[in-house]
Amino acid sequence: MKNTPLILITPSTQQRGVEFSDASLSLSNRYARAITTAGGLPWVLPVTEIAPLVAEAVRRSDGVMLTGGDDVEPDLYDKAMPASLRKKVLGIDRHRDFFELMLVNEALRQHKPLLAICRGHQVLNVALGGTLIADIPTQVPGALDHRRSDAKDKLVHDVAVVPGSLLALITGKKRLGTNTSHHQAAGKVAPSLRITATSNDGIIEALEPDEPGFSPFLLGVQFHPERLCDKHKEHEQIFRSFVTASRPRHGKK
């Protein structure tokens, strides 16, 4: 286990947990299982806004993975959002928002591999200066039904993958079958990112760096590969590629 990559994973939060009904962490076991199957050692880091602690946690880890969850605080990407649209934004946890924004910045500053899933994909875009679609049904007329929570581990629709992109190289696919369980999405793309996958209605399904050398591994996906990787090799390969990119190099302290 000496050279097993240590992967820092972000959790969701709950106002009332199981043990004592107080503020708690919450995370599907599928994330940790996907990392373990791919050869990594999962480490779920509690939500904190203590910057030195976040920086040290990233330093000790070999890779960082942002997970799914509730909506992102609108003021972080659109302070002028109309009240009628703001009502569609649910489950905000500002502590988690700032925690994950710090993690993105630290992972990039320390040049650590980063995999961002669903909400994490959205946080990545916001952290680097992009915006979000706050509610797809309201803002994208004629969009697909992206909130298929009834089929979390099923292939619900295809996404078109940009040839030559990291996602294309990992999966070997031009069209990739995915699940879908979200009502928000990346809007205006951050200057340092580029779109590498879209669904048929134009919703952004993957983001990667716009320039080589920006990160040793940086991929944001709107879908949930951790719920597909046990049955679909191309989704398992996302985690294997991420963990491989996170393997400790000589000289790491």
Active-site positions? 118, 224, 226
Write out the two tokens for 108: 């990039």
Q: Which residues contact 86 (CB under 8 A, 6 or more apart)?
A: 74, 134
Output phi, psi for 187, to 5 deg.
Answer: -105, -105
Which amino acid does the sequence have at 84? S
| SS3 at position 116 | strand
Pairing of the two strands 24-26 and 132-133: unpaired
Burial class (CB in 10 A: 0-12, 13-18, 19+), 250: exposed
Give 31's DSSP letter: H
Pairing of the two strands 185-186 and 6-9: unpaired
The residue whose two tokens read 């299982």 is 33
